[in-house]
Chain A
Amino acid sequence: MKAITPLQIYMMSTQFLFSTAIGFFIGPLVLKAGFMSWISVILGSGIGLAMTYLSFRLMQRRPEEFLAHYGMHIVGRWPHYIIFACVLLIHLYMAAFVLRELSDFIIQIYLPGTPEWAVVSLFGLCIARGVRSGPVHFFRSAQGLFLFSVISVFTFPLFVSSEVDTEKLIAFVTDFHPGGIWDGTLISSALFSETAFIVYLIPYFRNKERTFRMVAWSALTAAFVTIANIVATLMLFGSELTANLTYPTLEMIRYIWAGSFLENLDPLLIVFWLFSMLLKIGLFLMMGTLITAHLFGLKDHKPFSYGMAAAMIVLSIAMFESTADIEESTTQSQSILLLLKSSVPLLYLLVDSLRAWKGRKLAGQAD
């Protein structure tokens, strides 16, 4: 079982973090923090990492067990089932939500007129295939295409460097409004705290002591990639336009003009970004599927993989009416939901620590 290497954890976490960050979060982030979004990303990654570290501490206590199995010994059987049912639903919702965000983006920009269900079903099939292969193969797949994904997202800001307005540079220091920065920090901390997923997969990791170090490196890499894209977008469009564009990164990519051979590189570059999006959605669904299997006391998650993928596809199609609804959800509720999901291990850690403290106290009294 212990077959996921620290390098695979790094590569998966990095792609997991930057995929939605550069795809869908730049607009809402700039809306709140403006040119100071880069500070929000740094602070957010710090907070997210702190939350992940606490999850790591919890998982260090029982490194060979799944939280879904031993959680009931910490908070009690029924509270544990209720909490994990909520966690399962949040994971399923997040998978469906990101899938819907992606399918809307694909349909609007590249496949107008194509039925939503067809696009969602095709990508859902790919995700289901990945989830069915299991965590070990899924993490391995992240390793195989890591370089292509990272190079392609680094290419975005590099190619537009000649088009940027350098006079906007000063705004990265002067556009200071603490309220906005804090709101942006909340958004990015919700995003970066997603790495707390490690707590659900710990028995699969080979070198457990290095897990947090790898996650920290991945957060650093993802923060760097996100900031590079934010800076390039802001210098190209300014804060007002960036905040009001639905897909600012895509608009930036459209500025890329690779000589006389290729007119627009965006469809090609998006192919690689698409794979990191698959990893993101797939990991949400994978955790949902694993939690379901663990709650039912099964060792193998495979019987649930296609069923859960079907539920995700249906939820994704039926959940929202329009892109405006999705945008509203992204800015209003998604961060809270993500923070709530990432806080669950913290709750278990707190209760576990209280129990341990109480146990020690009782033992002291008995002595």
Chain B
Amino acid sequence: MALMNRFRNKLRANTALSASKERDGEEAKAEASVDVASRIAYLRKRFSQSSDVAYHNFVTPSGLACALVYIKGMIDLKTVEEKALSVLTCLDPDTPNEDLFSRLFERMQLPIALQSVIHLLKEAERCVLDGEALLLLEGERRMLCLSVSVTKERSIDEPPNESVIRGPREAFVENIETNITLLRRRLRTHRFTLDMMHFGSETHTSVALAYLSGVCKPELVAEAKQRLSNIEIDGVLGASYLEEFIEDNPYSPFPQMQYTERPDVVSAALLEGRFALLVDGTPIAILAPVTLFMLMQSAEDYNQRYIAASWIRIIRFIFMFISVMLPSIYIAITTFHPDIIPERLLMTVSAARENVPFPALLEAFMMELCFEALREASLRIPKAIGQAVSIIGALIIGTAAVQAGIVSAAMVIIVSVTGIASFIIPHYDLGLALRLMRFPIMVLAGAFGLFGIACGVILIYFHLIELRSFGVPYLEPLAPRQAGDLKDVFVRAPWWVMKKYPSHAASGNGLRTHGREWAALKDEEE
């Protein structure tokens, strides 16, 4: 059987090889030709299964045969008619062909802003597939690729997942060029660098690696390019396709790259010496390197006054702890350490749990699983019936389950608080990872009480200590300690205090700000 399979595979490989050889032969033949018909015939064969490819043959007044090849719907026909067809069909009949070729291919006299001369049929193929118009002329091997593509794109909208009260309201869209423009408008510097790449053998998705040269460490850029250059995949339909290929530890549940839909967040990250990846077709940019504390920062923090922002950030950390620990602590206390809580509270909790037939661990597990299911359902179902699901969920979990004696009221409170706490984490991927961590810790709490929780936390902690994002330790600046960077971790220091670049940025760039120099001068005068 194995022998048969091997033979079949070899046969298949041989067939593919001979087909490829045959295609290369045809291409070389068409390549060598200056004849429009043979090149069109080659392209027709290549696009034989694409009924949307149009072949427009026409003749100039001097009798020169020409052809335009494009995909219907992907180009602006009006522009082609006005800027190419009408020019070529209204030429002086006495114009010699050589002069026409020179005007078109050397002096680029067609009134179209973006056009390029191509020599190979492979390039011609790519030109057509990219939604441009391909112009071929009889007696000339060179071809003209006219950038007249038109795409229906949605307008720049408010970011649906990262809304702010103060701050810009623009979000990325699906078009990479628009997204780059959004960044350009914010970073008007020659340092803003873009490296364009293409991924996906079938999709040829455009990807832009953006960074500020001189601010982003050159070794970080080199590392990013090296990792990206190793990607071989048939299609890239979103930023997350690339993320999984280039992250440091693919087995970790914790996100090692940050995603955002806000151009101001990307701009701020570039100013901190990080790099961004913009992928065509997705309104999400990914940023790296990232630390756990960066994932706890929100765009709002930098638009609010620093005192309020710091307070909110502390609240966020407290609730992050609650979102991971609260059910486990409840299980540990009710099962192993009831002596921690005061007698009256203990009696209240015990009375509430009196009729519940399940141990605290099982009760918590059931409730948490139901909550996860409800949350997932509310995300996936159509908005019109989403409210109904919420009401049913609230009724079942909140009232009916307690009244039926399946779960205790205390457990409902615990699960609700945990649920709210998990929504406070600004980065969805991090919230997801922490939600996942909650379950093994609950099992450890059910088996070993607070000792089990401590062990669970220690295991997670060691994982986080080892984790890196493009060489930057995940728990930086706490471990390893970077005293200067602590200004933007648990609190957000005022802008005029954050004078230096973060430690992961390139050194020797001077200061980001000189602070409130006028205040110092005024003090001196007084």
Contacts and interface: CB of A to CB of B under 8 A. Distances in A.
Interface string B433-465: 000000000001001111111110011011101
Interface stretch (A87-95, A136-144, A305-313): A136-144
A143 B481 contact: yes
A207 to B, nearest CB: 13
A7 interface: yes
B461 A145 contact: yes
A137 B466 contact: yes
Interface stretch (B58-66, B93-101, B228-236, B338-346): B338-346
Given A133-B465, A137-B462, A110 B336 contact: yes
Chain A CB count within 10 A is highest, among B339, B461, B473, B475, for B461
B480 interface: yes
A144 B479 contact: yes
A5 B462 CA distance: 18
A140 B455 contact: no
A271 interface: yes
Given A125-B459, A275-B458, A106 B342 contact: no
Interface string A274-292: 1100100000000000000
Nearest to A142: B479
A126 B462 CA distance: 9
B450 A267 contact: yes
Contact of B451 (A119, A129, A141, A264): A119
A205 to B, nearest CB: 14
B445 to A, nearest CB: 12
Interface in A110-147: 110-111, 114, 118-119, 122-123, 125-126, 129-130, 133, 137, 140-141, 143-145
A110 B339 CA distance: 11
A268 B465 contact: no
Contacts of B475: 140, 144
B12 interface: no
B465 A137 contact: yes
A296 interface: no
A263 interface: yes
B449 A141 contact: no
Contacts, number: 91
Interface string A224-266: 0000000000000000000000000000000000001111110
B478 interface: yes
Contacts of B343: 263
A271 B450 contact: yes
Contact of A262 (B336, B341, B447): B341
Given A119-B451, A278-B458, A111 B480 contact: no
Chain A, interface size: which category? 35 or more
A8 interface: yes
Given A125-B459, A141-B461, A263-B343, A275 B480 contact: no
A226 B449 CA distance: 28
B314 to A, nearest CB: 15
A109 to B, nearest CB: 10
B23 interface: no
B395 to A, nearest CB: 32
Contacts of A270: 450
B462 A119 contact: no
Contact of B454 (A7, A8, A130, A271): A271
Nearest to A140: B479
B253 to A, nearest CB: 16
Contact of B450 (A5, A110, A141): A110
A148 to B, nearest CB: 11
B184 interface: no
Contact of A263 (B341, B449, B462): B341
A119 B449 CA distance: 11
B458 A140 contact: no
Contact of A141 (B447, B452, B462): B462
B481 A7 contact: yes
Interface in A1-57: 5, 7-8
Interface in B415-449: 444, 447-449
Contacts of B444: 122
A263 B465 contact: no
B471 to A, nearest CB: 12
B465 A275 contact: no
Interface in B318-367: 336-337, 339-343
B465 A262 contact: no
B450 A140 contact: no
B459 A129 contact: yes
B481 to A, nearest CB: 6
Contacts of B463: 129
A193 to B, nearest CB: 27
B336 A111 contact: yes
A111 B462 contact: no
B335 to A, nearest CB: 10
Nearest to A3: B480
Contacts of A8: 480
Contacts of A119: 448, 451
Given A106-B451, A122-B448, A122-B455, A267 B340 contact: yes
Contacts of A274: 451, 454, 458
A144 B454 contact: no
A261 B342 contact: yes
A122 B462 contact: no
Top 4 A-B residue pairs of the complex, sorted by shortest distance between their CB atoms: A144-B479, A143-B479, A126-B458, A271-B454
Given A111-B451, A126-B459, A262-B342, 14 more contacts: A110-B449, A111-B449, A114-B448, A122-B444, A122-B451, A122-B455, A133-B462, A133-B466, A137-B462, A140-B480, A260-B342, A263-B339, A274-B454, A275-B458
Interface of A: 5, 7-8, 106, 110-111, 114, 118-119, 122-123, 125-126, 129-130, 133, 137, 140-141, 143-145, 260-265, 267-268, 270-271, 274-275, 278
28 contacts: A5-B481, A106-B451, A110-B449, A110-B450, A110-B451, A111-B449, A114-B448, A122-B448, A125-B459, A129-B463, A130-B458, A137-B465, A140-B473, A140-B479, A140-B480, A143-B478, A144-B461, A144-B479, A261-B342, A262-B340, A262-B341, A263-B343, A264-B340, A267-B340, A268-B340, A271-B450, A275-B454, A278-B458
Interface of B: 336-337, 339-343, 444, 447-455, 458-459, 461-463, 465-466, 473, 475, 478-481
